[in-house]
Amino acid sequence: MVTPMNANTVCPQAWWSRFMGRVREQGRSLFPTLMIVVGVGVLLQGAWIPVKAMVAQLLLQRAWSQSASMNHPVKPWPWADTWPVARLSVPRIGVEQIVLHGDSGPMLAFGPGLSTAGSLPGEGGTVLIGGHRDTHFRFLKELKPGDAIQITRQTHAPMHYRVVSTRIVDARRTVIRQEMGEERLVLATCYPFGEAIPGGPLRYLVEASTLSSG
């Protein structure tokens, strides 16, 4: 008696073709569901970013108040590797934000950051503060020459600035220099605003000069 051989054994190409056909059919049927899942994930991630930024500012406001009452820097949460160093205000558009020490990428998710490569407000030179274009520094696109900006440090008199210019630069070719002497303020964020893909070489700069202290 001769046992018939399995057709798949005799012709593995035929078996593979049928298998791939089933995979393609199932893929076509699942594709709409997969796209819905991906779309929901993107929407949730997009919604989480501004919520995270808002909650972080509430915690930073509390840490700022505690720092003032305790007379030393207070971390906004126990594992934080940064702390509030200043309050930034733009009266014309009702902006008030707490500025963090340092401007690394992960840190900017919680608030604008004061670059350690620049000066401290009130000490002369270039004060450089960075922030994300889709959260804390989204308001930069609303600033125009003549707008007043105030920065206040703990136990220091407020510093008053006036916007003198806004410009778009390529970070690969432009360096913000630390200029000693008369103080200037530079607020920086990525450009263009509203871009879905993070990063890119372009930066939007708001430059302001010192009015007075006190």
- 60-99 tens-digit pLDDT: 888 888 888 788 888 887 888 889 999 999 999 999 999 9
Residue 29 covered by a domain = no
Residue 200 covered by a domain = yes
Give percent above pLDDT 70 in the chain.
Answer: 75
Mean per-residue pLDDT of the chain: 80
Task: Report the range out of 7-16, 99-108, 157-166, 180-189 with the highest average pLDDT.
Answer: 157-166
Residue 71 covered by a domain = yes
For position 118, which CATH number holds?
A: 2.40.260.10
- 11-67 tens-digit pLDDT: 445 555 665 566 556 555 544 544 443 343 433 344 446 676 777 788 888 888 888
pTM value > 0.75: no
Tell me whether the omega of the peptide bond preceding residue 12 falls within 30 degrees of 0, making it cis.
no
Residue 32 covered by a domain = no
Residue 177: give the domain boundaries: 46-213
- Domain total for the chain? 1
Concatenate the DSSP letters of all residues of 78-143 into one string: TT-S--EEEEEEEGGGTEEEEEEE---TTGGGTS-EE-TTSPPTTSSSEEEEE--TTTTTGGGGG-
Res. 201: pLDDT tops 50: yes
Residue 26 covered by a domain = no
